[in-house]
Amino acid sequence: MEQKALSLDEGKFRQLYEAACAVARNSYSPYSHFPVGAALLMEDGSIITGANIENRSFGLTNCAERSAIFTAMSAGHRSFVALVIVTPASDYPVGPCGACRQVLTEFAPAQTPVWFGPSWDRMVRTTLGELYPYDSLHELASSL
């Protein structure tokens, strides 16, 4: 899975952060009262967002990260180059759940930057590989 070189300065991450904050306001979270917004930077420079959408049957809930990925894939994008996740109601940075980590690694390499947190000044700056270090999908792909 190749990733095009793209200049990712702090200004671009600020743009992603603002987009994630805006979409978090569209969250449907009447049960957890925990809105989440995610913003993906695509290879072509476009930004795709997603919010968490809950359901009273909690297993049918969709996280913001997967909402963004599914929207991007539906629009014809097949990989992304950065991700910012905002959890404005949290007291501390909350990273992606295990299911989201698995889905994210389907569409981006380990060096992809991932920032997450409740506010700009409390962002954790990491990579997909650090979030999901033993990714068997990429291990299998490299052996084919």
> Kindly report the CA angle at 75 between 14 and 136, in degrees rounded to 5?
80
62, 32 in Cβ contact below 8 A? no
Told to judge if 130 belongs to the known catalytic residues of this protein, a careful annotator would answer no
CA distance 77 to 99: 20
DSSP E strands in the chain: the ranges are 37-42, 47-51, 80-86, 113-117, 124-127
User: From the candidates 2, 18, 43, 65, which is the catalytic residue?
Assistant: 65
For the purposes of burial, counting CB atoms within 10 Å of the CB of 61, is it exposed (0-12), middle (13-18) or buried (19 or more)?
middle
Gap between the Cα atoms of 84 and 124, Å rounded: 10
Residue count (the chain): 144
The set of catalytic residues is 65
